[in-house]
Amino acid sequence: MAQSQLSPDAARAGNGASRFGRSAGDRGAPRGPYAALDLGTNNCRLLVARPTADGFRVIDAFSRVVRLGEGLSQTGRLSEAAIERTLDALRVCRDKMAARGVTRARLIATEACRAAENGVAFLERVRERLDLKLEIVDRETEATLAVAGCSELVDREAASILLFDIGGGSSEIIWLDRRAREGVAIRRLQSWESLRLGVVTLAEKFGGDEVTPEAFAAMTRFVAEALAPFAAQVADRERCGRFHLLGTSGTVTTIAGVHLNLPRYDRRAVDGLWLTSDEVDATVTRLKAMTYAERAANACIGVERADLVLAGCAILEAIRGHFPAQRIRIADRGLREGMLMQMMRADRVWPRARGGAF
């Protein structure tokens, strides 16, 4: 099982508190909406939501490609240009939370800040300039939040599934088994791995603009080799006829949008969509045949992801190679939803009947 230990400096980089109220460990009913912010290697994403009788209702959202980890794999540091782009996006998030009267927030940073020599210094700069305190979460926490956010999309009749989150700088792979406890069928985090590679790091290593068939094959082999130890670890686990993959990331939502030929991306059409293995094959083949300009012009890809989508497809192909399945379910949800659910549970405002699979 993958493990990650934060340095003492990283551990001090944040505890989830912010200018918007109490941290994730506090108790008591909040006075205003909840907010969850996920700062990754490629994206800065925010959700603001209020609890409802059957879960929560999103009242504001924000997502921007910031490429915080651009060049990190070569230099080991966050660049000044990437930091400024990210500060601009975080300023928008701060203003949205203030405008919505947020009093309960959790703000996390993942792989780019974990890996960068100046990751902790960057978060201190965020605190000083924007009065936002972000916490660097370890890889196990990231995997757990992904599971919490996506668990409602699991086929509960399946004996096991594989959930994966293809990020910009890391990719979480999680094996979920069903177990019986006190007569109630539940799932729990059984085995997981965090690969220290994602769409940004892979595209920087192999190229992302014009990807030849040979380069795509090399990317896929590279990821498959990295994933092989975990695949061997779970090789003897039960897989019934309902075994499926559950993917959450820009890669899989892009594949879904391209498969559906959406004139522009529509979360309502994508979140929860089932794709067959043949449909994924056909869409990946279609993406591989596109030029960079064609990918950039596609409404579900765009110029911000045109050089990353094939790296994501290579990671997906490596996962599918080790874990073949006839079905894959697409999740346009993940860490932010997991944080919202955890905070609402802690405050006892999450509906009991909607506990999810965990």
Strands of the sheet with 135-136, listed across from one edge: 55-65, 43-52, 34-39, 104-109, 135-136
| Structure confidence at residue 1 (pLDDT) | 35
Q: Report if residue 345 sits inside a domain.
A: no
Are the CB atoms for 68 and 142 separated by under 8 Å?
no
- The answer on 119 and 183 residing in a single domain is no
Going by C-alpha positions, the residue among 82, 152, 78, 81 that lies closest to residue 116 is: 78
Domain boundary among 137, 172, 198: 137
Average pLDDT, the chain: 88
Q: Are residues 199 and 127 in the same domain?
A: no
Is pLDDT at 355 greater than 70 in this prediction? no
- Asked if residue 3 is part of any domain, the answer here is no
Confidence of residue 238 (pLDDT cuts 50, 70, 90): confident
| CATH for 197 | 3.30.420.150
The answer as to whether 143 is a domain residue is no
Residue 356 forms part of a structural domain: no
Same domain, 158 and 198: yes
- Residue 283's nearest CA partner among 319, 313, 327 is 313
Q: Do both 124 and 158 map to the same domain? A: no
pLDDT higher than 90, residue 41:
yes
Measured N-to-C along each axis, helices 309-322 and 250-259 cross at an angle, to the nearest 10 degrees, of 100
Paired with 38 in beta bridges are 45, 108
In this structure, are 180 and 75 located in the same domain? no
The C-alpha atoms of residue 12 and residue 125 are separated, in whole angstroms, by: 14
Strands (E) across 168-250 are located at 171-181, 184-195, 244-248
| Same domain as 245, residue 186 | yes
Residues 96 and 46 in one domain: yes
Closest CA to 149 of 61, 56, 243: 56
pLDDT over threshold 50, residue 14: no
Q: Answer whether residue 147 is part of any domain.
A: no
Give residue 29's pLDDT.
52
Global confidence as pTM = 0.86
What is the domain extent for residue 103?
A: 8-137
Q: What CATH number is given to the structural domain containing 96?
A: 3.30.420.40
Query: Same domain for 215 and 264?
Result: yes
* Domain contains 341: no
| Number of domains comprising the chain | 2
At which of 137, 163, 190 does a domain end? 137
Q: Do residue 223 and residue 305 come from a single domain?
A: yes
pLDDT at 85 over 70: yes
Identify whether 132 is part of a domain: yes
- How many whole angstroms separate alpha carbon 195 and alpha carbon 174? 11
Q: Which pLDDT tens digit goes with each residue over 157-178? A: 999 999 999 999 999 999 998 7
Which pLDDT value is given to residue 151?
Answer: 87
Do 26 and 101 share a domain, yes or no? yes
CB half-sphere exposure, 29, CA atoms < 13 A: 4
Domain assignment present for 357: no
Q: How does pLDDT run across 262-321, given as a tens digit for each residue?
A: 999 999 999 999 999 999 999 999 999 999 999 999 999 999 999 999 999 999 999 999
Measure CA 75 to chain center: 24
Integer CA distances (angstroms), 356 to 72, 177, 188, 297, 307, in order: 36, 14, 11, 38, 35
Output the CA–CA distances (angstroms, integers) from residue 347 to 23, 254, 290, 350, in the order listed.
11, 35, 48, 8
Q: Report which listed range, 46-55, 116-125, 136-145, 187-196, is most confident.
A: 116-125
In whole angstroms, what is the distance from residue 131 CA to residue 213 CA? 47
For 217, the token pair is 């094959």
Does one domain contain both 87 and 166? no
Looking at residue 351, its pLDDT comes to 82
Residue that is last in its domain, among 106, 137, 168: 137
208 and 241 fall within a common domain: yes
